[in-house]
Amino acid sequence: MKTVLEFGVRGGQFAESIILPSQGCGAQMASHLVRVFSNNQQHTYADKKQWRVWSDMPRRSWTSSTHFVALSILDGKPRGSASAQLWKKDNVTL
């Protein structure tokens, strides 16, 4: 099953979408991006098993204060852009 991987900088101008040929490929790429963005090899979402998507849960996402990663099933159903939902930075009081 094909998947769509979306990732980028929250609150910034960079967001990328990639269509990947399989769920396994998408899960592996998403987990590697979480490792890089979080700088934490032991993060829960750094494990590709956490990125399983299916018809009952067609999208998985991870966000930090600076980045986002989302993996969705590509099955023709309109779900909207994950980047539009996850792009906005949280309101942070310093």
Tens digit of pLDDT for each residue in 5-43? 999 888 767 888 899 999 999 999 999 999 999 999 999
Indicate the residue type of 68: F
- pLDDT higher at 32 or 87: 32
| pLDDT interval class at 88 (50, 70, 90) | low
What sections of the chain are H helices per DSSP?
A: 23-38, 82-86
Looking at residue 77, its pLDDT comes to: 77
Would you say residue 92 has pLDDT above 70?
Answer: no
Domain map of the chain by residue range?
Answer: 3-76
Ramachandran sector of residue 74 (left: φ over 0; alpha: ψ -120 to 50; beta: rest): beta
Nearest to 28 by CA among 9, 57, 61, 51: 51
pLDDT, one tens digit per residue, over 31-79 is: 999 999 999 999 999 999 999 998 888 999 999 988 999 999 988 877 6
